[in-house]
Every structure is written in structure tokens, then in C-alpha cells.
Structure 1
Amino acid sequence: MNPSQPVDLTNCDREPIHIPGSIQPHGALLATDVTVTTVLRHSANAPDMLGLPADPNGMTLEAVLGGELTHTLRNALATAGDAGRPALMIGQKLANGATADIAIHRYLSDVIIEFEIHAGDHPDQPLQLARTMIGRVSSINEILPLARQTARLVRGLLGYDRVMIYQFEADGSGKVISEAKRPDLESFLGQYFPATDIPRQARALYLKNTIRVISDSRFSPVPLVPQFDASGEPLDLSYAHLRSVSPIHCEYLRNMGVGASMSVSIIVDGELWGMIACHNYSPKVLPMALRVATEMFGDFLSLHLGTLRQKLRLDTAARARAYLDRIQQMATGRDVADLLVEQVQEMGDVLRNDGFGLYLDGVWTGFGSTPPLDAIPDLARFVGSVADNRVWATHAVASRFAPAEDYYGDAAGLLAIPLSQLPRDYIFFFRKEMLQTLNWAGNPEKSYETGPMGDRLTPRKSFAIWKETVHRQAEPWSESEREIAEAMRSSIVEVLLRHSELMADERAKSDVRQRMLNEELNHRVKNILAVIKSLVGQPVQEGKSLQDYVDSLRGRIQALALAHDQVIRGDGGGRLADLLQAELSPYRTSSNVADIVGPDVWLDARAFSVMALVSHELATNAAKYGALSVAGGRLSINWDLAENGDCHLKWQEFDGPPVRPPTRQGFGTALLDRSLPYELNGTSDITYAPDGLRAEFCLPARNLRGGGTVVKVHVVDAQAPKAQRDALPADLHILLLEDQMLIAMDVETMLADRGFEAISTTNAADQALRLLDTRRPDIAMLDVNLGVGTSVPVAEKLTALGVPFVFATGYGEGGAIPEHLSQVPVVRKPYQIGSLMAALARAYREASGS
């Protein structure tokens, strides 16, 4: 943005908030080169706050901070993870005698060091505080009680005047779902805010940097010196805690009388689910130790909410399955139409709604808030014209069907389930206008200060704009609700047309959806919650840093997440080779070797979860201390099946650093020694040989199946050379076939970051085939297993057209690829940009003959 251009509400979406050129005054900042040698920039307050020379730019960091602290900073940076998780040092002595809390991270071509004067009256043990907070909520298994307890807990421990849990809706607007506050403050509980209150670039930063603090909403920004480097580039502060804040957001806070704030992102399934928003009505500096504890708590809360949301979907699916099973069992020897009318009232428990009903053979049976009786036939005819005999839903029916304007207050949203091949019979679910169901807890007469940018930046005005935005709209129908509706349609049509030739296709669809509705998953979700709680509760190993603990905890939970995802997507387990390949891929480089050889063994859900943790522990240890940590290191994994069906697996490392046995048994060592014997009644034998770690495991036959074809895998390099990744012309037209919306959006973003703009995305094979009839892409990426069917017909048409393509797949899904397409490159989920680009480049290169 042009610095001379005023910042207002018409251009805030373009405001470059990641490069403000300044920081907040409660800390100081130094920026160095990537070797942490030379100071390149400093905040204007750094000399006074840190006791530095008046202009430290160009000086060595040793000359500015001293050799000992510089050495400590370099060591900390070497152990740091990504930029979003800076290395932290609490209570470091500075040359001027002051004590500071320091955060250091590397981003792009700069190393950013942030200093905050240490607050001695606050605890220096963020891990213990985080564990206390996690322990208070880990047993809560419902989302709203969890949100209420979180707000109370954060306010009680951090001392803010108001703490809110803020949840985003599907359209980007947000709602305060829980609140803990001072008794004299107005309540914001239940209030909605429009999506424009949080600009697009701010949401992107909230995903990168999960915690943001404003110590004084009236602060004067401290400029960076220089603001632009010799090439004219500003310093990117995306991951800096001290980053200065948009003047629009500061005015928003001041208009409410807020003097300080803090927010923690809640990220579920890779998207911004909501925030913990804290307000204080006077300036407040939150010490770094408390911020770290809150950030760790936010990470756990995100995982916990993701699990609970999955459980809620499963519970809803189970209710739907029970209803459908009852209909099918009762249908024997009965008139199905009479049975549906008789059981229609129980449909109301299947999906959340304000009204519902059955329109069958021109007769309407309805309950709750529905359109007038005489409006139903016209509504049914309209749905028949647009639904194409599929589930059809809208949150704003009046915008699609003009006569619905007469009753939008009672039925603003509609989900229709067709029950026959002809557009005639339907189950209708309705939702009221969102404004009709609003529970406003604030004072409608409350007045707020108006700043120079107008009264738009006040809660009450924001709420008014949100009301204008959602007028005549209901709460949108979620993807899981649509899936359940589709499962209802398939099952009821199966009853109605049991002896029809059309039912062959309907039964296939029903079988696919029944796997999603498996009540067994509910039990597994609870088990995984218990395992996560156990992981979090493990004590910190003596001599290990806070960052080591956080990294280990995160890795173990991610390993569990991979296992849980496979249980859901597969048929109750996964292939051993796929699991090992997925765990090793992030650590494969061009200078070391990892080979996997053994029969094609399938693990059941229990064994898969146990081996996910065991293989993750072995892989991370090999990458940190073993064969995968040095050039030339080799790792060999092989297994075979005994006569009794047991699987014997050997893990052997060669040419790595000398191995020393652990001096004490930490959590990781205990996990390797005890997991298989305790969970599966198997065996585990770990040998710390000086020339390389040896591990042997026995997995009992009852947890296995398969064992035919031998699998040989040379682990793919996840960090492909840049020249190979970037070997695709940026003007290519790419066809993306992916049935999961969030995954498709993630792939689009990764490709867009690499400069690809022409991307056509579709979620079904028939849609992709129609696209190929109108425009020939240059290259394609096809998800093997779709919600309905596979992408093989699209692959065959691309082959006929001479268009290169790659397959994408999760664990155990490669079996859907036919033999004549087995040479097509395959990308494994979850995607990594390096392997994705390498596979696309390979397919494009082979097709062009270069």
C-alpha cells in the first residue's frame, strides 16, 4: 500500500499488516542476517531499552550483545522449528544488567530477535501452567461447556477484564459463544460480527502466528531503523509477537474503551475455527512465559475441539443410521408410504432444524416452523426443477425462489431430500431466518465512542451491518449435514425401490455412506482423547528444554492424528508400508537412504495406532540423533511373517553417529519398550549398538491380515531439489479433481503460491469429464477415491487426450488404481509442496519427452 494513502474501511483488506515497519513499545527488536552475525536493523527504542550503541546496524551481534548471549541465541535458533514456533529464552541477563525474555526465529532471509523486559512477579514455568489449564478442560466432551470453561479458566489465570470464545461461521462472520467478564461490564455473549471486521490478510496471519498481543491500544508505534533495506524491502514481521497493529483495529478497541487485548487462534482441521479473545480496559503487558503457556493451551484446545466436532458428526450420523435401520426393518410386508407418514415425526431428530415435513403423493405432513400449506406444492415443483434428483440445500431460499419472500421469516433455509426418481416426493427440513433465532445478551441502548473513522468501528454498528448482511438468510447447512441427508435419501429410496433395477446404483452409494456412519468410530474417538490426555500429562524429562517438550508432544499427537484419519478413511486400519513411508518421508534427503521391504501387511485399527506412535518415535530419533541426521546415513526396515502369522519387524540404522544408551528411561524410551507388549501383547527389543540402533518387534497375527506380495519402497525425497520442483511453466492450466473442499483449497493455495493461476477445480468425475469436453488442460491432479466412485474414467480420458496427470491418495487407497495406470506418479496425503511439485514435474517431463 502507498504510505501516503490513508487507511480506512474501503482499503483495509489491502493493508500490509505483516510489514508495518514498526513494533509495539513494550519490547525491542533486532534483525540480523541468517548466520546471526551482523545486525541489519533495530527498533528505535533498542539502544535505550537494551543498553546498546546508538546505531548498532552493521555491528556484529557479539559486539552488541556480548559473546555469551550471542552463543546462546545461535544455539536456540538451531533447535527452533518453523517460524511460527520461535525459540524462547526466559530471564536472560543483558549487558546493561537488565533481565529480558527473548524470542528468536528465522523467516525468509532475516533472523528476528525480540526482547521484552522480564516481569519478576509472574511465574517462569509456562509448561506447568499450560498443563494445569489443559488438565482443567481435557475431560469436557461437549463444545459449548468446553468453551465456557475455557473462558473462565483463561480469565482467572491471566487476569483480563473480559475473555470471549469467538467462533467463525461458514460465511466468515463470527459469534461470541462464551464469555467471562467483570460484573460491571456489558455482555457480548451471543453477539455476531460481520466477516469484514477481520480482514482477509488478518485471517491469514492468524493461521501463521497463533497468538497476538496488544499491550496498549493507544500505543505509539516504534519505527524500525531502517524501515527499508538497501534493496527497498521492508522487514516481514508475520511471526513477530511485537509486530505493530493496524490503526483500524486499535481504533476499534479504543471505541469500546479497551486498553489492551490478546487473542489466540483456534485452528481445527487446518482452518481458523475461532479465537480466544481477551480484553482489558487499561494497558496490560502479558509476560512471555504466560503467553507461551496460553499458546500451548490453545494448541491443545484446537486438537480437542477437532476431536469433539468429529464426535458430534458421528453422534448425528448414528441417530440417522438408527432411524434408517428402523425404517428398513419395519418395511417388510408394509406399505412404505404409510410407514413413512407414520414415522415422519422422528425425522426431526436426524438434522438440526426449526421445521420439517414429508411431501408424499401430493400430501403434506409437517411439524414446527414451515411454509404455509398452500405454498408447499409450488416449492416442491421448484425443487424438482433445480435438484436434479439429488439432495438440494440453500440457506437463502428467497434469493432462489421469489415466492418464498412471503414466508422467509418462518423458512429462510431449506434442505430437500428427493424420495423418487421423478421430481415428486420429498422430505423438507427448514430453518428460520438467522435474526429470528438470535439471542442478544448486550444492552441495545449501549453507546460507544466514535473515532475519526466513524461509528462503523463499534460493536453495535458492526452488529447492525451483520444484520443487514444476513437478512432473509438462515444458518447454512454443513457438509456433514448434507452427507447425512444423502445417506437418508439412499436408504429410503432403497426401501421404496427395493426390487427396481435402479437400486443397484443406490445400494452402492448407500454402502459407501454406511462406512462413514459406523458407530464404532465413536468409541475410537474417546480412546484417542484418553491417549492425548496421557501424552500431555507426561513429565518433562530432566535436561530437556520447553521447546523439546513442545516439539515431541506435537509430533506424537500428529502421529495419532494420522492413525485416526486412516481409521476413518480406510476400513478400520492401514498398510504397514504406507505408515512407515509416511513417517519417514519428512526426513529423507538426497544424502541419506531409507529402504522399506516386507510383505503387504494390513494392520487393524488398534495396531495401526500403536505403530503410528512407535514409528514416529523411531523416525524422529533417527532424524535427530541417528542415521538420518548425517550425510551417508542408511536406514533399513524389513519384516516377514512367521508360520503362526505373527509379523517380525527389524529396524536397523547404519553409518550414523555413535550410539550411546540412554542414561534414564524417558517417555519416548518407555513408549518404544512397552507399547507393543502392553497394547497388543507383542514383543519389543531395542538395542543401542555403538554402530547404530537396532529394534525388533513382533506384532501378533490377530492384529494383521494380508502378507502376499512383497512391498519394496525407496522413501521419496520430501525436499526435492528446487530446480525439479520449479520445472513447470507457471502459465499451465491445471485440472484438480478432489472431493474434499478443504483439501482442494489447500492444494489451490500451494499451487497459487508457486505462481499457478489457471486452476480448474471440481469434486466429481462427471463434472471433470464435462470440463474436458470444453477445455483441454495442460496437466491434471486426480484424487483416486472420490465420495462416489473413483477418478479412473477421468484418467482414461486424459490418457486418450495425451494430457499428463498424477494420482493423489491417502493410506491404503492405491488399490483403486488399475494395472494399466500403475506407472502414473502418485502423491501421498497429507500433501507436501515439495513432493507434489516433483510428481507434477515428473509427469509433465515424461509427457513432453524432456
Structure 2
Amino acid sequence: MEYKNITNQDVVNLENCEDEPIHIPGRIQPHGFLISVKSATDVVNVCSENIHDYLRFTHEDVLGKNIAKLFNDDFLKAYKSFKEDTATSHKEFNFSFDDTLFSICIHLSDQHIIIEGEPTENQFGQDRRLYNSSKQLLGYIQDTLTLKELCDSVAKALKEITEYDRVMIYRFDADYNGEVFAESKEDHLEPFLGLHYPHTDIPAQARQLYIKNHLRIVGDVNYKSVPLYTHNSSAVNTLDLSLSVLRSVSPIHIEYLQNMGVGATLTVSLIHKGKLWGLIACHHYSPKYLSQEIRNTVTLHGHFITSQIDIRILNEEYEIARKANLAVDTLTTKNLNFHRNSLKELFAEDAIIQLCNSCGVSLSVDGKMHSKGDTPSDIEVNLLGDILFDFSRNKHFSTSELSRITSDIVSIVEKFPGINYYSLGDEHNYIIWYRYPTLKEINWAGDPSKSIVKKEQRLSPRKSFEKFTESVKNTSKPWLEAELAASSSFTNFLINHLRSIRTNEEKEKQKKLSEILKQANAELENINWISTHDLQEPLRKIRMMASTLLTRSDQNLLSDKVIDRITRMQSSAERMQTLMDDILKYTKTNNIETPDLETVNLNKLLPQIKESIYDTLVDAEASLEIKSLPIIKGIPFLLRQLFLNIIYNSIKFRKPNELPIITIHTITEERNEINQNGAFHIVEISDNGIGFNNEYKEKIFKIFSRLNSKTDYEGSGIGLALCKKIMIKHHGLIDAVGERNKGAKIRLYFSKI
């Protein structure tokens, strides 16, 4: 049988490292052996070349054989137990082969069961150390308060357990740049504490593997990797070693460690909320191997750190949250009135700045600016408010680096890089808290701009890890969750308070309007009284004098023309008397919720109206055509006023060089938006006047509304508003359709019920 190795032959350097398939190298580290068994058949389909260094057979002996022919019953019992336990994909145990104790790791990779073995021994009194370290976990809870104190204690304890030269707790920022957060080391070594490492040191695919496989060990940085073999007829071309303990490391990472002078490493992932929060990184400056038990202890300490992250952060933020909430309580429990002057009262309190530890705050409400502390000018705040409204999409936004979203307002970016913005509903209503810049110095382990160097014909990791200090400007202290929660709580209070202010203002406005309306009604009642009572006497005298002149015996001395005019004067006085009587009736009906409606034949009423305005029609040279009209239910004197107002409007708004033509008729069998069920009699009054744009069809029925200049057309703007009121009294509707310079149509909808 012929065999082939599955080593990945791709040439890898920093030009293509982001695409490096580090999970399928096809090679392992030499301090142990690996075999892969096809789960369905229990036949070995992959084996490391170095298996003969640890067991009594070669890879040629192993490949294609059933595992039952290679190992004893005790081992096969453990193997079978792993296969049957569907709840776990990983198993560890110690086992002896030919008097040599091995640490065995079994895990599932797709359809393959991967078995890895490493020689092991009881290292430097590990039983006692492991027992003490377990007790130490309880001690951490009592002896440390902050996350920093906890990480310092864990680093120190792990150095004692593992005896590595250096143990570090390494944490990532939002961009996966790393910082040495805690460190325990041999005295002669240069400290790495506080140093930062660029995100390029640990590429994305490596970070993904750290999430899958929480422990990674390199016993000897200068190891010679061992290839994995399979037989030629095998379908296996690659083997996923993501969870493998012995997986060979990327040559780029090996070169990186060699450049640091490191001889061996142990790395444990710190996973928090499903993301890679940091690492426990152990360095030794010569080859070093650890037993599985000690590795598990390091992993346990890593889990303990991540379980404590939220608790320790809460402990650190508790005092900040307490002070912030106290400031919010100071503001929200004030006995404020619901007037705009209460905003000045709020902004007189220092608590409005203290609640999120800012240097100043600006509030824009309905175009008016309120400020407290050190803030930009009102003009600058308005510009910033427009930018933040668009950027935040009318929501909350906070940043410690304003320059990341805008460079348009340099003065704000440089002086107030910390921004905490809340929209209060639209772009002109918002609140912004500000923070001063903090000059931040970052100590890098080598110049981050030189993290890649040219080596011969390819790119390689940097060789220099000498401390490099970078000054970062235009940034502020980050906004903590407790501070953002406090500002959010106050903003909600402020929104409710502003809503109360506006509601109160609306009530005051309605109150004033009610007073004005009451006064106007009182004045109208006085006018009604004067119209219907005080004018009765002079009108009666006019009628009496006209009657006297017409009945005198010597009236033959008067010309026919004079007699005609006296007759007309008497007729007008009589109509005026009728109108005043009608007004009196209307005034009385206003106090009746549902006035009685009479049967009115419009075919009789309209000719009477036409006769009454005969002189007006003649003077205007207007033509009034009355066609067949319905019999309706109504109040005669109001209907008279209704039609007179509309006819007078048609005459008033006639075209300068065209004789007015007014037509009144019934529209039958029309189903429009109003008359969907045919429940109305529709009477239309149309003319050939100046008309109007249909966009104003609602406006013309509002009291005092005018579409034309007072100098061009006399009138008070009450006529059509009164018409609408009359139609409401008749349980009907009024509508208008117009076209500029082509006339208007007024439609009256009288209920058939």
C-alpha cells in the first residue's frame, strides 16, 4: 500500500497570512502522536509520522487498520465510552502504553475521531499545587475587589503552578489591539506590563481558533513539525485540527515568537459573552512541557477570570453609578412648575453636569438654547446638533472621539471630543453633554507602524519589541455604562417634563381663547340686541313716512319716478324688518340644540329671493337662472341668508369684462365621496366669475379667511363661514369646486331624512 502526506504546501508569509488555513496545516508538533479514526468504521485513516517514537508500530502499520487491532481492551473501553457519549465532543484521560504514561485527548472533528497522546508525568508536586490552587479560587473572591486586582493575583498564582518565566493577562480593545493588563515574571526579565500590541500580531483567523479551542501550547518554539499521513486511496486530503492540542503552529507565529526570544508558550482564551476578551499568555525562555492536569488548572483559572469580569466591572462602577444616580435624583425630585422658566431652574443645578461627569451640557428646545458649564457657542452647538441628528438617525449617540464622525467643526473636535447626545424628538430639540480631551499615551511593544518588515524576498513579523510611546489626541475618557444610564434616565424625565410644559401652555392658550370667545359672544349679543331692538324704531319711522307719502291725497303732485322710488324704499324697509325679525329668530335658535325644521319648497323660496335682489342684479347686469329644485327640510330665514350670501359672492367676484351668469339647479343621480348612498339632495350654485384654486377649497369656509385683497374686493370674510354654519344647522354639508378664471361651483347637501 502506498501512502501520502496531507501537509498544506501553500507558501505563507505576511502578504497572504489573512488567508492562511491555520486549522488544517496537515502537521503536528513532535512532543506527541496523532491518529484519526473514521467514526463510522473505526478504521484509522490518518496517522502522524512519529507514532513509532512513542508506540511499537509505524504509521504504515496503523493506516487502514481497525482500532480494535491496535489497542487493548481498557483503551477501547474509553474509546467506546467517548463515542456513545453524545453530550460531549471532548474527552481527556491518562493511559499507559508499555509502561509509559500518556495523556490522551480525544475529540470529534467532522466525521473523524482524533486521538492525541503525549507522554506525561507528575510535574513538580502537581497534586499539592493543584489542590492549593483550587483553594486559591475561593481566596480570590475574598482578597480582591477590582478586576485588575483579580488578574494580578491569578497571574502570580499561575506562575507558581506552571513555573513559566512570565505569566501575563492580556486583554483586547474594541479593535483587537492587546494590552498586558497583569503580569508576574522572573525578576531579571524586562516588564511587559502596560505594553500594547497591534491587532496584526493576532490575525482574525487565529482569534477565531482561540474561541473554538481555549488552550494552545507550544512546548519548543524551535520544533520540527511532523507530517500526517494517509493511504493514497483515502478520500482525506485535509484534517480539521481546530481542537487539536498538538496542531502545528503557523510558521509566521513561530517566527514572531523567535523574534521575541521565547522558547515555549502556553495560551488560554478568556471568553466573555461569546467574544474573545483576552488571553492568559505564559512565556518560557527555553523548551517547556506541562502535564494535562496543570493545563486544565490554567484553563480553570481562565474561566474564573471571565466569570468575574461583569462582577468586578460592576464593583468598579458602583461608586460612579451611585453618584450619578444621586445627581439624577436631585434633578428629578425638584418641585418644578410646568413653565419654561423651570428649565432655567434645572440648569442652575450642578447636578446636571455631575450626573455623567461632563464638563458642560447644552439643551436646545424649540429654538432656545440653555447651557451649563463649559460648552461650545450657540452657533457651534446648532451646527453640531444638525450633524448628530443625521448621524444618530434621531436617536442616542455617544463617543469619546468626535473626530471619528466629523471634522467640520474643528473647535469642538479639539476642545470637546467627548459627546453624549440625545434627541428629544426632532433636529431642533436635543441635549448634549461634553467632555474635555485627555492626552493619552500608549506604550507599544515596538512601533505599530513597523509591525511588518521586509526580509529577503518576503514580508515577516517585526524583530523589534522595544517600547514605543504614542501620544493620542482628540479623545476623552470613555462614557461608562452607569453614566450613560444616568443621562438616559434624566433625558426621559426631561422629555416628560417638556411634554407637561407644552400641555400646560396649550391649556393656558385654550383658556385665553375661551375668554376672548366669551367676550366676543357677549359683544355679538349686544350687537344682536341693537340690531333687533334699537334699530326697530328708526326703521318703523321710515316705513311710516313712506306709507304716508304714498297715501296722501296730493300724491298726484309727485312724478311717477319719485313714486316708484318711494315704493322701492318702502319695500326695502319691509325686507329689512323681515331680516331683523329673522335675526332675532336665529339668535333664539342658537340656544336650541335641535331647532325644528320646516318643509321648504326651494322652487318658491328662490324666486322670492331673486325678486328681493332685483335692483342688485340689474345694477350688476347679472343673470340669475333658477331651474327645478327639491323640497327640503329647513329654516326658511336661514336658507334665505344662505342663498343670498352665495349669490352676492358670485356677483362680487365677477370678471371685470364679462357679465355675471349665475345658475342654481339640482344635481341628480350623482354618487360622489360625500353622497355615496344617495342620502342628500344636491343643490349647485355655479357662476362664471374669477374662481379660485382648488387647494383653497377648505380655507374659503373658515371665518375671516380671504383669498383676495381687501382693496380689490370688499367684505369681511364671514359670508361662506356663515353658510357652512347654516348647513350644519340643517344637518347638511357644503362643498366648493373652483378653477382660476373659470368660475366656481358651490354645492349644498341637504339630508333627505
Contact 1:33 1:110 survives alignment (8 Å): yes
Q: Which residue of 1 aligns with 2:372?
A: 365
CA distance in 1, matches of 2:444, 2:185: 13
Q: 2:495 aligns with which of 485, 493, 496?
A: 493
Contact 1:228 1:235 survives alignment (8 Å): no
Q: Report the number of matched residues.
A: 489
Contact 1:228 1:234 survives alignment (8 Å): no
Q: Which residue of 2 aligns with 1:417?
A: 422
**Match of 2:283, SS?**
strand
CA distance in 2, matches of 1:41, 1:101: 20
Identify if the C-alpha distance between structure 1 residues 442 and 273 changes in structure 2 by more than 3 Å, giving closer, same or farther.
closer
Q: Which residue of 1 aligns with 2:104?
A: 102
| Cα offset, 1:411, TM superposition | 3.7
Deviation by residue 1:128-157 (Cα, 9 ceiling, x = unmatched):
355234223233342221122222222222
Identify if the C-alpha distance between structure 1 residues 89 and 420 changes in structure 2 by more than 3 Å, giving closer, same or farther.
closer
Q: Which residue of 1 aligns with 2:138?
A: 135
Pairing 1:323–2:314 present: no
Q: Which residue of 2 aligns with 1:343?
A: 349
CA distance in 1, matches of 2:237, 2:473: 44
Question: Which structure would you say has the larger RCO, counting Cα contacts within 8 Å and 6 or more residues apart?
Answer: 2
Q: 1:295 aligns with which of 287, 294, 299?
A: 299
Identify if the C-alpha distance between structure 1 residues 44 and 376 changes in structure 2 by more than 3 Å, giving closer, same or farther.
same
CA distance in 2, matches of 1:304, 1:78: 35
Q: Which residue of 2 aligns with 1:75?
A: 81
Q: Which residue of 2 aligns with 1:785?
A: none
Contact 2:255 2:461 survives alignment (8 Å): no
Amino acid at match of 1:341: F
Q: 1:188 aligns with which of 180, 192, 196?
A: 192
CA distance in 1, matches of 2:467, 2:203: 13
TM-score in terms of structure 1 length: 0.51
Q: Which residue of 1 aligns with 2:656?
A: none
**Match of 2:282, SS?**
strand
Contact 1:412 1:431 survives alignment (8 Å): yes
Identify if the C-alpha distance between structure 1 residues 81 and 286 changes in structure 2 by more than 3 Å, giving closer, same or farther.
farther
Larger radius of gyration: 2
Q: Which residue of 2 aligns with 1:220?
A: 224
Q: 1:382 aligns with which of 361, 380, 387?
A: 387
**Match of 1:165, SS?**
strand
Unaligned runs of at least 5 residues, structure 2: 1-5, 506-753
CA distance in 1, matches of 2:175, 2:248: 28
Identify if the C-alpha distance between structure 1 residues 477 and 8 changes in structure 2 by more than 3 Å, giving closer, same or farther.
farther
Q: Which residue of 1 aligns with 2:123?
A: 121
CA distance in 2, matches of 1:313, 1:159: 35
| Cα offset, 1:414, TM superposition | 2.2
Deviation by residue 1:356-396 (Cα, 9 ceiling, x = unmatched):
444565454335xx779985554345335544553222444
390-399 or 214-223: which moved more?
390-399
Identify if the C-alpha distance between structure 1 residues 341 and 483 changes in structure 2 by more than 3 Å, giving closer, same or farther.
closer
Q: Which residue of 1 aligns with 2:402?
A: 397
CA distance in 2, matches of 1:215, 1:115: 14
Alignment of 1:528-567 (within 5 A): none
Alignment of 1:258-297 (within 5 A): 258-297=262-301
Contact 1:390 1:417 survives alignment (8 Å): yes
Alignment of 1:535-614 (within 5 A): none
Identify if the C-alpha distance between structure 1 residues 195 and 54 changes in structure 2 by more than 3 Å, giving closer, same or farther.
closer
Amino acid at match of 1:32: V
CA distance in 2, matches of 1:301, 1:501: 53
Identify if the C-alpha distance between structure 1 residues 320 and 386 changes in structure 2 by more than 3 Å, giving closer, same or farther.
same
Amino acid at match of 1:412: P
CA distance in 1, matches of 2:126, 2:29: 23
Alignment of 1:179-258 (within 5 A): 179-226=183-230, 230-258=234-262
| Cα offset, 1:294, TM superposition | 1.4
Identify if the C-alpha distance between structure 1 residues 295 and 389 changes in structure 2 by more than 3 Å, giving closer, same or farther.
same
Amino acid at match of 1:263: T
Q: Which residue of 1 aligns with 2:715?
A: none
Contact 2:196 2:444 survives alignment (8 Å): no
Identify if the C-alpha distance between structure 1 residues 266 and 65 changes in structure 2 by more than 3 Å, giving closer, same or farther.
same
TM-score in terms of structure 2 length: 0.57
CA distance in 2, matches of 1:289, 1:359: 60
Pairing 1:457–2:459 present: no
Q: What is the percent sequence identity of the aligned residues?
A: 26
RMSD over aligned CA atoms reads 3.9
Alignment of 1:35-46 (within 5 A): 37-46=42-51
Deviation by residue 1:153-177 (Cα, 9 ceiling, x = unmatched):
2222212222221222222322222
Identify if the C-alpha distance between structure 1 residues 343 and 293 changes in structure 2 by more than 3 Å, giving closer, same or farther.
same
CA distance in 2, matches of 1:484, 1:231: 61
**Match of 1:157, SS?**
helix
Contact 2:403 2:474 survives alignment (8 Å): yes
CA distance in 2, matches of 1:409, 1:456: 35
Deviation by residue 1:430-476 (Cα, 9 ceiling, x = unmatched):
3637xx3235387999x999784657535749978xx69x8766676
Contact 1:137 1:146 survives alignment (8 Å): yes
